[in-house]
Amino acid sequence: MTEVLSSDTSTKIAELAENYELPAGTVEHLRTQSWAPLPGLLSAAAVATIHDQVEKYAAPVQPSETEKWMTSDEYARVLRSHDGMAWTDDWFRELALSPRLSNLALDLLDRSEGLFIHDMTFTKPGNEGGPTPFHQDFPFWPFDRQGAFTIWIALSDLTPDMGILQFMPGSHAEGPLGRFSRAPGDDIRKTYPGLEEKYGFAGGTALKAGDATVHYDLTVHGANQNSTPDPRAAYTLRYMPTDVVYTGAPHRHFDAFGLTPGELFADSPHVPRISR
């Protein structure tokens, strides 16, 4: 595991010290619909600072042997990603562990403690940015149970034609459906054609810079192509309960946590705990 380094820019975003006022019904919406909107999670000024920090990371994700598809030229036309910044730069760690974001995560977990496990950027290129195949996140992660979720933050104003995330509401009830989205066109709907009719779609609407969404690890989600000349940029944070056990499945980020299959993620010194 790479040691966390000091950033040359202090986080210094005042609103991060303040709790986010979770809209009424958000937790229930997430539990029943597999996702929920988080309007105005951060200000435009805050995400502009995040975007500037993200721009420092020129190198893409460093995939494991089972994840080489993530950096293929073909997949780069769908998404370009960086991850684990909070494990190499304390600016991002302070962001993820700030009261605004960590207390939001605890609200969504409905627990007094949780774990911060991952951060990642997703940039869909302008013009050439192809659709993101519909998929679940859970099958790619070395977790023995469901319960993790992703907070997806728009880093600029986004219009529907930029390929904003769409969700199949309630689809987390299907359980794990296998690995998809490993190449353009590798879409879960081809294997499970009844999903679209059963669940329909939600999300995909315009977002202001700083607006966010949250979805479970088992939520079926994807995105249309980016048909504008501007890149669609998002920063994501992932949190989960403290009782999740490491399975040992290969993963570029979690491989470095020093865990043995069967151990709790919460027992690793590389996994920050959040509480209040």
- DSSP letters for 197-238: HHH--EE---B-TT-EEEEETT--EEE--B-SSS-EEEEEEE
Q: pLDDT value at position 41?
A: 98
Helix (H) or strand (E) holding 83: strand 80-83
Residue with the bigger pLDDT between 258 and 102: it is 102
Domain ranges of the chain: 19-266
> What confidence tens digit (pLDDT) does each residue in 158-206 have?
999 999 999 999 999 999 999 887 777 789 999 999 999 999 999 999 9
Residue with the bigger pLDDT between 27 and 69: it is 27
- Fold of the CATH domain 19-266: Jelly Rolls (2.60.120)
Give the CA count within 13 Å in the CB-facing half-sphere of 56: 12
- State the Cα–Cα distance between residues 276 and 58, nearest whole angstrom: 35
> What confidence tens digit (pLDDT) does each residue in 58-89 have?
555 555 555 544 455 554 444 566 788 899 89
